[in-house]
Structure 1
Amino acid sequence: MPARKTIDLKNRQYYFNRSLSWLEFNKRVLHEAFDPRTPLLERLKFMAIFSANLDEFFMVRVAGLKQQVESNILQGGADGMLPQEQLEAVRDYLLPVVKEQHRFFDQDLRSKLAQAGIFLVRFPELKPEQQAYLTNYFETQIFPVLTPLAVDPAHPFPYISSLSLNLAVLVRDQTTGEERLARVKVPNGFPRFIDLPTDLGKKDKKDEYAGAHWLGVPLEEVIAHNLVSLFPGMEVLAYYPFRITRSADLELETDKADDLLIAIEQEIRKRRFGSVVRLEVQNGIPPLLKQTLMEEMDLQEMDVYELEGLLCLNGLFSFLGLPLPEHKDPDWHPLVPSSFHRVEERESFFASDNEVKTLGTDYWESTAAELFSLIREGDILVHHPYHSFAATVQRFITLAAHDPQVLAIKMTLYRTSGDSPIVSALIKAAENGKQVAVLVELKARFDEENNILWARKLEKVGVHVVYGVPGLKTHTKTVLVVRQEPGGIRRYVHIGTGNYNPKTAGLYEDLGLFSCQDALGADLSELFNVLTGYSRQRSYRKLLVAPVTMRDRMMELIQREIAHAQAGGQGRIIAKMNAITDTQLIQALYQASQAGVSIDLIIRGMCCLRPGVKGVSENIRVISVIGRFLEHSRIFYFENNGSPEYFIGSADWRSRNLDRRVEAIVPIEDPAIGGQLKELLDLILADHRQAWELQLDGSYRQRQPAEGTPGQGTHQMLMDRALKEQALH
């Protein structure tokens, strides 16, 4: 037979650019706003999420590409695109998408809101009485806060803060006839949209706002139509809203910092003065004014986005607060998993009518003993937000903090909420005399200030707070509880895929494993020694730990599937992650596909792997699930010729996760839990409502349900399943 042609798997044609892949992900988010099946107010939510995501993309990714261009870096990624080429490609891709977003909101969603009794109107459309109401609101509430800033030879162009909404105001001096430019910042301390009493100005039932649930105008229009108060003696000629985005990446050399906390605080202060990377303006801005803004902020035409209608659509989040359940997703209240019902019942024994109570030693000893006995009976898997975070993870940490038998608690905190009950429990544990060690990741992007606050609070009560390993982010999600028991010391662990954040636990889909396996307890003890002390631990009993063992082990598991397939056995891989961009692992998957291994990837966001290429990746399929909850769990399945192995953890297949972060992935050895994971993966792979299939050209095609079927998506099916489980118990 003729020799098979060797294919160069490093060829750039086999890789998607990660920036463009991320933009494709965000476009799928935006589609939820366009999709008429999405409830009306949820459509506004997805509009806002799309905009907020874009802000971060510019602050981090675009800013990074601009820095590479300035540094004359002439090297691209696996796809071969140079930094300047990427910036141009981002612009070409994104401009029509954001224009369509603004057009759709202004011309479609606004009218649908009005049909539902939600009137977001323009100031001139209001009746005189309504305008008078807003003028009074301006004079008494807004005017005292505003500071108009002139722009002329005596007044240099003012500092513009990142993501702030501003008005460029053109005025004419009525004495000299000269035209001047001023800037007015729209203040942050007010609602994005100012509402009016819905009965104000109504004359009869035929009023156009009759039956309104909400009536209001954008804040900047209230300011714009009262500018004469800010410029007495001047004629206000015109105003033009604009918004800028600055670079927000911290430039920190952690290995050179004497005190990481102080160094990061200093960098956060510098962040507000980062270079401008984007200018958003409304259509119709005069070319000369646009050119002035560009010159003052050192921008090029490709950095400017001229958009229709409102700027800063992030504020649409506020409409989710309206009491209109018919226009929202049905409420979902996470359930207590059946395995935790015994603990729930024991707590009920001590409580009466859900009253706030003073809990004594008997309560803590009894309830904690019940929880730890559950874990001793076997590993437990929890799945958020279908399972309650408060009733499982939060309860585990809280009971450990109060249990007299617990000697020590160690955990990692990457992101948590501003009023975190987790941190409160750790503080209580320290006050109760337990040894508490917490790794607070100060470099968690955009949560740095919050984490610094918690780090200081924890330190004040005697918690051992550390900030991680120099040069690495600590991204792993782990808790270790050391308990004195009749048979000696026993270690209990929680290893998860998501942050210890009660608020996001209701929005993000994540998994967590409770266990008291000796090997896992020993592994976590050694991992925490790496994080808190000096250790060059190179091997672990069961955990896959980055950056020391995870990459090699994942490569071995893929190679094993290749070997099984080549020997005529079953070669099968299913991997669920947020992103896959690592070239080495992508090439390994290509080799597996060439060997006949069947591969399904469930990748929510960036995917640099190109599926379906003949002779390279024809056995690889990629889907993305977008919907009510943010898919965040990482699950890895290897068929192993009929003896499958399962893993969950915190790491994506990205170089940063495998090489520049501390991550942990845990093997799932209980066959029943493995079966649950396989059932979950199969359910997602069969989704014909929320799933999108990655095409050969890098675009995504949303799956559609069969004709005549409702096409229930993953999230709804899992909520239904949780409710059925509760009914059975």
Structure 2
Amino acid sequence: MPAGKTEERRRAKKGVCVVRVKTKEEKMDNIYMNRELSWLKFNERVLEEAENNEVPLCERMNFVSIYQSNLDEFFMVRVGSLQDQMLVNQKIKDNKTKMTSEEQIGAILKEVKRLNRRKDAAYKSVMEKVAEYGIRLIDFASAKSDEKKFLEQYFNHEIVPLSSPTIVGKRQPFPFLKNEEIYAVVVLETRSGKERIGIIPCTNNMVERLIELPGNKGRYMLSEDLVLHYIGKVFKGYKVKGKSLIRVVRNADIDADALYDEDLDYREFMADLMKERKKLSPVRLDLSREIDGSVVEALCRYLDVSPERVFRSEAPLDLSFVYKIQDLLRMNPELFYGKRVPQKSASFRDGESIMKQIAEADKLLSYPYESIRPFLRMLNEAAEDDSVISIKMTLYRLAKQSKIIEALCEAAENGKEVVVLVELRARFDEENNIRWSRMLEKAGCQIIYGLEGYKVHSKLCLITRKGEHGIEYITQIGTGNYNEKTARLYTDLSLMTSNEQIGINAALVFQALAKGEIVEESEHLLVAPKCLQAPVIRMIEEEIQHKKNGEDAYIGLKLNSLTDKKIIDKLVEASQAGVHIDMIVRGICCLIPGVKGQTENIRVISIVGRFLEHSRIYIFGCGERTKYYISSADFMTRNTVKRVEVAAPVYSKAIRARLRAMFDLMLNDNKKAREEKADGSYELVKCEGEPVNSQEALYQEAYDRAAVRNAGSAAESTEEEK
């Protein structure tokens, strides 16, 4: 076979679009990666952490669970969306690789089956090592005689009274199977030789998922395995011909804007819509063991799932129980990452007004390395400050117990104008946000429920106060949610500034939101959907022009995902012009770097480690003319032109230098960074020279700065005492 044909087939297997090189447009086809297949490559990198022997054992267990929960959400959202596209128009194609929805689903299913085999192997390997620490999940083959007696009694007294068995027949239709819940299915044969299907739900809040066996510490059985073993006792009078645990994953892709009737109360409409989402059609069926093909066909028929969507799993169908096992192993610190605590920011002084300190100089918080407390202190201070006129915020995802909500409620109760945009369409957080919106409204806050056709994903807070010389602003712009919990788990940035022009721009954003409009023009902030994509493209074009003029040119981007074709094509043009481009893209990257004549000046790495990389940084230019931004927006079309997003310029020289140092440190990561190759694959960066784990290094820097800060404070106290 000719070498060219072999290369084409190899690239096609990796999800890279391969087209004969004929026209200029066709020449670019080999630089695109399909969005969905690129996401699966990200989840594969998560799985690699579960396989990595250098990662502590309980953390490896955690990564197996994250892989599975990621995959569930991917099927609910992305596969569900593709499924809906197929129903509407089978000719719809991905605008980069030209794959139809059906082709994409076919490629996804094939890749997931490959990855799931690795997941099963990773789970088995981890649990074998967990057993060395005295924790074992057993089945009936390994159960001792006294344990079997206990389990049978437990089943009879604790499970049977709570069970709701169903035999599918003419008078008993196939039951509705809840999303992501486990059921035991049994094939029953009547005395006359007819077959029936029996079903028992295994998810029950009254029964412990991990059943501890008496007399033998550290031996457990999953409750669903117990139900499956004794399921024949529930269906007496039948012969058991086959059985399996099953789990259904349902479509969660539902278009609220398309269904909303403006005569309805929007919040109540969203609450009802969440109930409807739980009933959407299945997109995947998981089985715990092989059962007769005719039974699988029957299940597929009842559930309206194609046989290709059926997955057999060696690992338990739901891995959330691993967190309980982690709790059982807490006395073994070597099985976990070393303890890290968000540090006090060296940028702030204790005992002084936060707003006053921000007025003196712009401040940057870097999560999870630094604590979110200065931001919370700023909100609490604003709630009590007589000079503060208003507090305005956009809220997307919040912690279950939110101190931010408490501060906003207090501000409203203290007579401040508090305007809060609560995005009720934040996927899987809708119910939480509905609850918070009611509490805020009750406290006297003015609530805005987003814009028609556009999710509000920006992380923007504006404090307006009456100063000595007129109106003053404190503006906070973040890359991540106002969530105290994720601020300890995700890497994010929070810029706080008293810059008047940024404050005026932020005020215009809130004015537009209050009127149900989008920002048409913005001088300092980049505000999607109208004022982000175009300025980004202009800044890329400026770098192209500088390079053409014989000057140095540079673009550095840190993103979660890159899918926006207009921006991708402009980055390719910049690469062809000789502009050096560094990209740190954690998840989806639809641009393939290193392709000769196309993207050879682009380097792409992905960092997957202890913390979820979530911050977005844009860098354009070299030397004194360099522009820095932090943003809530990835370079995805949904962010750049279909949502309200905000990117803020960084004018402080000290903060710009700090951002550059962070960015360069991540580029030099050789422990958790994977580099994307010209064939679309990812490889761990070779550790040559000193090992660099950027996340651990940034945490150590935070500890070191905090130590210097504390030493300085102690010295000042001693001097005052003298």
Please give the per-residue CA displacement for 1:402-427, whole angstroms capped at 9, x wherever unaligned. Answer: 33332211101000011111111111
Q: Report if the CA contact (8 A) 1:416-1:500 is conserved.
A: yes
Following the alignment from structure 1 to structure 2, what is the Cα–Cα distance between the partners of residues 650 and 660?
13
Aligned pair 1:497/2:479, yes or no?
yes
Q: Say which SS state the counterpart of residue 616 (structure 1) adopts.
A: coil
Q: Offset of 1:334 from its aligned partner?
A: 0.3
1:251 aligns with 2:268: no
1:272-322 superposed Cα distances (whole Å, 9 cap, x missing partner):
111111111134221121111111112222111122242222432333323
2-side partners of 1:559 and 1:128: how far apart?
Answer: 74
1:422-449 Cα offsets, whole Å, 9 max, x none, are 1111111111111111000001011111
Q: Are 1:73 and 2:55 matched, yes or no?
A: no
Relative to structure 1, is the Cα distance of residues 404 and 141 closer, same or farther in structure 2, using a 3 angstrom cutoff? farther
Q: Give how far 1:235 is off.
A: 4.7
1:627 aligns with 2:632: no
Match for residue 320 of structure 1 among 326, 333, 350: 326
- Structure 2: gaps of 5 or more residues: 1-21, 710-722
For structure 1, which segment, 230-239 or 649-658, has the greater mean C-alpha deviation from structure 2 after superposition?
230-239
**Counterparts of 2:156 and 2:378 in 1: how far apart (Å)?**
52
How far apart are residue 154 of structure 1 and its match? Answer: 1.9
Task: Give the letter for the 2:321 counterpart.
Answer: G
Q: Which moved more, 1:314-323 or 1:448-457?
A: 314-323
Find the residue that maps to 1:19 and give its secondary structure. helix
What one-letter code is carried by the residue in structure 1 that aligns with 2:234? Answer: L
2:347 partner SS: helix
What is the CA–CA distance in structure 2 between the aligned matches of 1:269 and 1:283, rounded to whole Å? 31
Deviation (angstroms), 1:218: 1.3
Q: How far, CA to CA, are the matches of 2:157 and 2:418 in structure 1?
A: 51
Instruction: Give a deviation string over 1:6-60, Cα, whole Å, max 9, x none.
Output: 8337843221100000000000001100000111110110000000000011111
Q: CA deviation at 1:85?
A: 0.7
Q: Distance in 2 between matches of 1:684 and 1:188?
A: 45
Paired position in structure 1 for 2:76: 59
Q: Give the drift of 1:156.
A: 1.2
Q: 2:371 is matched with which residue? A: 388
- Give distance in 2, aligned partners of 1:326 and 1:131: 34
Secondary structure, in 3 states, of the residue corresponding to 1:253? helix
Identity %: 37
Q: Report the counterpart of residue 695 of structure 2 in structure 1.
A: 715
1:40–1:637 distance in 2 versus 1, CA, 3 Å = same
Give the whole-Å Cα distance in 2 for the aligned partners of 1:331 and 1:191: 33
* Aligned counterpart, 1:242: 246
What is the CA distance between 1:575 and its match in structure 2?
Answer: 0.2
Distance 1:678 1:320, change over 3 A: same
* Cα distance in structure 2, aligned partners of 1:116 and 1:551: 53
**1:406 aligned partner:** 388
1:31 aligns with 2:48: yes
Match of 2:290 among 272, 277, 284: 284
CA contact (8 A) 2:228 2:245 kept: no
Check if 1:473 corresponds to 2:479. no
Instruction: Name the CA shift for 1:58/1:539 in 2 (closer, same or farther; >3 Å).
Output: same
In 1, Cα distance between equivalents of 2:517 and 2:104: 40
Task: Report the secondary structure of 2:256's partner residue.
Answer: coil
Whether contact under 8 Å (2:166, 2:199) holds in the other structure is: yes
Structure 2 equivalent of residue 99 of structure 1: 117
What are the superposed Cα offsets for residues 626-657 of structure 1, whole Å, 9 maximum, x if unpaired? 00000000001112464211000100111111
Aligned residues: 683
Partner of 1:153, secondary structure, is coil
CA distance in 1, matches of 2:379, 2:176: 45
State the Cα deviation string for residues 220-253 of structure 1 (Å, max 9, x = none).
1122233355234445454211111110112322
Is 1:555 the equivalent of 2:537?
yes
Partner of 2:673: 691
TM-score, reference length from structure 2? 0.91
Following the alignment from structure 1 to structure 2, what is the Cα–Cα distance between the partners of residues 140 and 514? 59
Is 1:109 matched up with 2:126?
yes
Contact 2:354 2:374 in 1 (8 A): no
The equivalent of 1:594 in structure 2 is: 576
TM-fit CA distance, 1:484: 2.9
Distance 2:675 2:55 in 1: 20
Q: Which moved more, 1:159-168 or 1:176-185?
A: 176-185
Q: Aligned partner of 1:277: which letter?
A: V
TM-score, normalised with respect to structure 1: 0.90
Any stretches of 5+ residues in structure 1 without a counterpart? 203-211, 347-366
Q: Is the 8 A contact 2:187 2:295 kept in 1?
A: no
Does the residue aligned with 2:655 lie in a helix, a strand or coil?
helix
SS of the residue corresponding to residue 630 of structure 2 reads: strand
C-alpha distance in 2 between matches for 1:384 and 1:287: 51
Q: What does the per-residue CA deviation read over 1:335-356, in whole Å, with 9 as the maximum and x for residues that have no partner?
A: 111122x23xx2xxxxxxxxxx
Instruction: Supply the distance in 2 between the matched residues of 1:404 and 1:580 (Cα, whole angstroms).
Output: 44
Q: What letter matches 1:402 in structure 2?
A: E
Matches within 5 A, 1:480-629: 480-533=462-515, 535=517, 537-629=519-611
Report the equivalent of 2:705: 725
Task: Give 2:159's aligned amino acid.
Answer: I
Equivalent of residue 198 in structure 2, options 182, 199, 215: 182
Distance 2:211 2:170 in 1: 39
Tell me the secondary structure at the aligned position of residue 468 of structure 1.
Answer: coil
Match of 1:201 in 2: 215
User: Is the counterpart of residue 222 in structure 1 residue 226 in structure 2?
Assistant: yes
**Residues 453 and 479 of structure 1: CA distance in aligned 2, closer, same or farther (over 3 Å):** same
1:61 corresponds to which letter in structure 2? R
1:469 to partner: Cα distance: 1.5
1:261 deviation in Å?
Answer: 1.6
| Alpha-carbon distance between aligned partners in 2 of 1:488 and 1:10, rounded to the nearest angstrom | 58
1:110-139 deviations in Å (ceiling 9; x for gaps): 211111222122134222333333344434
Alpha-carbon distance in structure 1 between the residues aligned to 2:52 and 2:516: 53
Secondary structure of 1:338's partner? coil
Q: Which of the residues 1, 4, 7 maps onto 2:24? A: 7
d(CA) in 1 for partners of 2:626 and 2:132? Answer: 53
Per the alignment, in what secondary structure is the counterpart of residue 676 of structure 1? helix
Cα offset for 1:268? 1.1
Match of 1:354 in 2: none
Report the Cα offset of residue 270 of structure 1: 1.1
Q: Which moved more, 1:125-134 or 1:538-547?
A: 125-134
Tell me the amino acid that sits aligned with residue 262 of structure 1.
E
Across the aligned residues of Structure 1 and Structure 2, the Cα RMSD in angstroms comes to 2.0
Farther off after superposition, 680-689 or 235-244:
235-244
Alignment check: 8 A CA contact 2:547 2:579 kept? yes
Instruction: Pick closer, same or farther for the CA change 1:539–1:336 going to 2, 3 Å.
Output: same
Instruction: Extract structure 1 runs of 4+ deviating beyond 6 A.
Output: none
Deviation sequence 1:140-195 (CA, Å, 0-9, x none): 4333322011112221111111111111023345x666543210111242577414
Aligned with 1:290: secondary structure?
helix
- Describe how 1:151-162 pairs up with structure 2 within 5 A: 151-162=168-179
1:192 and 1:70 map into 2 onto residues whose CA distance is 41
Matches within 5 A, 1:434-453: 434-453=416-435
On the 8 A contact 2:629/2:647 being kept in 1, the answer is yes
Q: What is the distance in 1 between the residues matched to 2:211 and 2:380?
A: 42
In 1, distance between residues paired with 2:208 and 2:60? Answer: 18
CA positional deviation for 1:398: 2.2
In 1, the alpha carbon distance for the partners of 2:27 and 2:394 equals 37
1:301 to 288, 297, 307: 307
Q: Aligned to 2:184, which of 155, 167, 171? A: 167
Counterpart amino acid of residue 250 in structure 1: I
Q: 1:9 to 1:479 in 2, by over 3 A?
A: farther
Match of residue 666 from structure 1: 648
